[in-house]
Amino acid sequence: MTADLFAQEAPVDVIDVTPVVELRQVTRQFPGPPVVEALRAVDLQIGRGDYVSIVGPSGSGKSSLLNVLGLLDRPTSGEYLLDGRPAGTASERERSLLRASRIGFVFQSFHLLPQRTVLDNVMLATMYSGVPRGQRRERAVAALDRVGLSHRLGFWPTTLSGGERQRVAVARALVAEPHLLLADEPTGNLDTASSAQVMALFDELHADGVTLAVITHDLAVSARAARRVRIEDGRLEEIA
């Protein structure tokens, strides 16, 4: 009896269990003709600290899903809750603010600015994300340290290896401490050794509690994730 009372008094209500991402019956149609149903009644929850990989054949709906998750596109129907708040139907201004402050993106082709140093590339990502001006440099240096690139701050991106460039891109995605890190084929342009570095970095981020969703064709990459989902013909299913 006493034990039960204590159990009730445990501060369970202070633990925030709101998923970072919750998709409820999300569809994305592209008007035709013919109409394409790129996402069909997708339900997906991504909890805080989850590491999810999303796999599927070409044309199955992976990019459509990434675009919805990253607030780059809106669902045609269904709901998208980001940190428990409706994001799919929010105004464009709110979505831009949410995107800049809560979501970090990593792309296959890095998207670094070639005329800016490594440090500038990362600092620039703090400008619209609510990082106070006085902290931008310090935060960028810390993000680059986290990905093991403290010795490359003043380098031009073009002088770096592919693996190093992708690690700069990861630092840029992390600098504003996003609630969700979205990676789209992050190893697609990398050789085996560089892919392994990026995967090891994702493992570390996962261990640090970062929430990760990684879209990939590569089964070896997807196998690293703690949880895997598969999308086929717009339908999403959990892989056991």
Query: Residues 58, 91, 115, 158: which binds ligand ATP (CB under 6 A)?
Result: 58
Pairwise CA distance, residues 43 & 182, whole Å = 18
Of 57-65, 96-104, 148-156, 200-208, the window that binds ligand ATP (rule: CB under 6 A) is: 57-65
Q: Under the criterion CB under 6 A, does residue 52 sit at the interface with ligand ATP?
A: no
Query: Residues 26, 50, 51, 56: which binds ligand ATP (CB under 6 A)?
Result: 56
Q: What is the number of other CB atoms lying within 10 angstroms of the CB of residue 173?
A: 25
Query: Residues 64, 187, 194, 222: which binds ligand ATP (CB under 6 A)?
Result: 64
Q: Under the criterion CB under 6 A, does residue 62 sit at the interface with ligand ATP?
A: yes
Torsion over CA: 229, 233, 235, 240 (sign): negative
Contacts of residue 92, Cβ cutoff 8 Å, sequence gap at least 6: none
Q: Under the criterion CB under 6 A, does residue 157 sit at the interface with ligand ATP?
A: no
How near is the Cβ of 144 to ligand ATP at its closest, in Å? 30
Torsion of CA 213, 66, 109, 54, to 10 degrees: 50
Query: Residues 19, 27, 36, 177: which binds ligand ATP (CB under 6 A)?
Result: 36
Beta-ladder partners of 180: 103
Q: How many of the chain's residues bind ligand ATP (CB under 6 A)? A: 11
Q: Would you say 57 or 84 has its CB closer to ligand ATP?
A: 57
Q: Would you say 66 or 170 has its CB closer to ligand ATP?
A: 66
- Helix, strand, or coil (residue 128): coil
Query: Residues 45, 59, 130, 204: which binds ligand ATP (CB under 6 A)?
Result: 59
Q: What is the number of other CB atoms lying within 10 angstroms of the CB of residue 126?
A: 21
Q: What are the φ and ψ backbone dihedral angles of 49, each rounded to 5 degrees?
A: 85, 0
**Which chain residues interact with ligand ATP by CB under 6 A?**
30, 36, 38, 56, 58-64
